[in-house]
């Protein structure tokens, strides 16, 4: 029984993403909350949330759990795989953080926001930035290859270990050899300018690193900063203080894969490999109460108890001054 549950869990985490974009109706951005609903300083830089699900998406392939059923019945509850676009409205450039299996739908949303919809115009992202080599974070690169958009030297920024993984293993190596993509090395801790208004610093984080190491990003716009960490083993295992890192920024989009151990019966807590939302509420409670940093959870697993809009978990998150990130919402940076 225990063995079976473990296998089911691994299937959930590792293999569920294929095809999730095919069963998801496109989400109408107008129906979703936007940062513009709240008074915010207008800037020319946006972080557009393109997805908030764990690698397998919501609903997950073949899954009939309550959360997946809810999402199948009502498209407002579907969530694409975690990703954000950074948009410079002046230079008309967009950058996608993580190439997910849902990237076709996600790049449409960034293009729509930029008002780019004409044939023959430059429609590829200006660059892709990758956090790591798990399926929800890089496999969307396939759409830039020979069988897809067939881009020419699309800049793909990643760590040197991630770059070696792509150059040394098919089918990704073909993207490199045909020069569909051009790998650029990110150095953890070293700031990179994407435009004159957008820069980011990659931060190395602990995670299951079978194929690559893993990074998160601290992003700076014209006026605000955003911390993006979709996958991390735990806050304790990090060589940085998440409290200090969260206090440095205005918005933190953090790994909220699981709410609590109840959604993972029979699992060894020490081997979950993500900070539970319940733990993050405690660790970051003071930061949330101060109210200077908006803390939102992303990378939500389809089992996550907080996905129930009426549930206790969601109430607890809200009461403590946190919230779940939503697909389609925007932050003015």
Interaction site with Zn ion (CB under 5 A) = 55, 60, 63, 65, 68, 134, 136, 231, 302
> From edge to edge, which strands make up the β-sheet containing 154-158?
181-185, 154-158, 127-129, 93-97, 83-88, 45-51, 330-332
**Minimum CB distance to Zn ion, residue 33 (Å):** 23
**Minimum CB distance to Zn ion, residue 230 (Å):** 6
Nearer to Zn ion, 214 or 294 (CB): 214
Nearer to Zn ion, 134 or 225 (CB): 134
Q: If we measure between CA atoms, which residue out of 19, 23, 81, 53 comes closest to residue 301?
A: 53
Nearer to Zn ion, 35 or 233 (CB): 233
DSSP state of 137: H
**What DSSP element (H or E) covers 95?**
strand 93-97
Nearer to Zn ion, 82 or 294 (CB): 82
**Minimum CB distance to Zn ion, residue 132 (Å):** 6
Cα angle, residue 295 at apex, residues 290 and 298 outer, rounded to 5°: 170
Query: Are 180 and 145 in contact, with CB atoms under 8 Å apart?
Result: yes
**Minimum CB distance to Zn ion, residue 295 (Å):** 19
Region at 275 (left for phi over 0; alpha for psi -120 to 50; beta for the rest): beta
Region at 71 (left for phi over 0; alpha for psi -120 to 50; beta for the rest): alpha
Nearer to Zn ion, 17 or 333 (CB): 17
**Minimum CB distance to Zn ion, residue 186 (Å):** 17
Nearer to Zn ion, 221 or 256 (CB): 256
**Minimum CB distance to Zn ion, residue 30 (Å):** 27
Name the phi and psi angles at 120, rounded to 5: 85, -10
Sequence-separated (6 or more) residues with CB below 8 Å from residue 76: 27, 31, 32
């Amino acid at each position: 029984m225990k063995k079976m549950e473990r296998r089911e869990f691994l299937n959930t985490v590792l293999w569920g993403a294929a095809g999730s974009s095919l069963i998801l109706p496109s989400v109408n951005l107008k129906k979703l909350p936007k940062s513009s609903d709240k008074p915010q300083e207008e800037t020319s830089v946006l972080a557009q949330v393109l997805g908030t699900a764990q690698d397998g998406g919501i609903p997950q392939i073949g899954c009939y759990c309550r959360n997946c059923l809810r999402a199948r019945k009502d498209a407002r509850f579907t969530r694409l795989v975690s990703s954000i676009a950074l948009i410079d409205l002046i230079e008309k450039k967009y950058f996608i953080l993580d190439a997910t299996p849902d990237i076709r739908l996600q790049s449409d949303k960034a293009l729509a926001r930029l008002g780019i919809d004409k044939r023959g115009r430059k429609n590829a992202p200006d660059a892709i930035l990758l956090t790591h080599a798990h399926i929800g974070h890089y496999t969307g690169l396939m759409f830039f290859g020979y069988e897809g958009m067939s881009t020419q030297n699309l800049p793909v920024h990643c760590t040197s270990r991630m770059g070696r993984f792509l150059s040394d293993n098919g089918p990704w190596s073909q993207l490199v050899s045909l020069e569909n993509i051009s790998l650029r090395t990110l150095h953890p801790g070293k700031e990179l300018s994407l435009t004159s208004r957008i820069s980011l610093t990659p931060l190395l984080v602990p995670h299951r690193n079978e194929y690559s190491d893993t990074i998160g990003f601290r992003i700076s716009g014209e006026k605000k900063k955003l911390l993006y960490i979709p996958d991390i083993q735990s806050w304790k295992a990090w060589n940085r203080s998440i409290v200090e890192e969260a206090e440095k920024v205005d918005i933190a989009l953090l790994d909220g894969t699981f709410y609590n151990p109840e959604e993972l019966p029979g699992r060894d807590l020490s081997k979950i490999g993500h900070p539970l939302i319940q733990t993050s509420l405690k660790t970051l409670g003071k930061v949330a109460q101060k109210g200077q940093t908006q803390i939102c959870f992303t990378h939500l697993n389809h089992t996550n108890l907080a996905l129930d809009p009426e549930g206790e978990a969601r109430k607890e998150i809200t009461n403590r001054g946190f919230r779940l990130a939503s697909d389609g919402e925007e932050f003015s940076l």
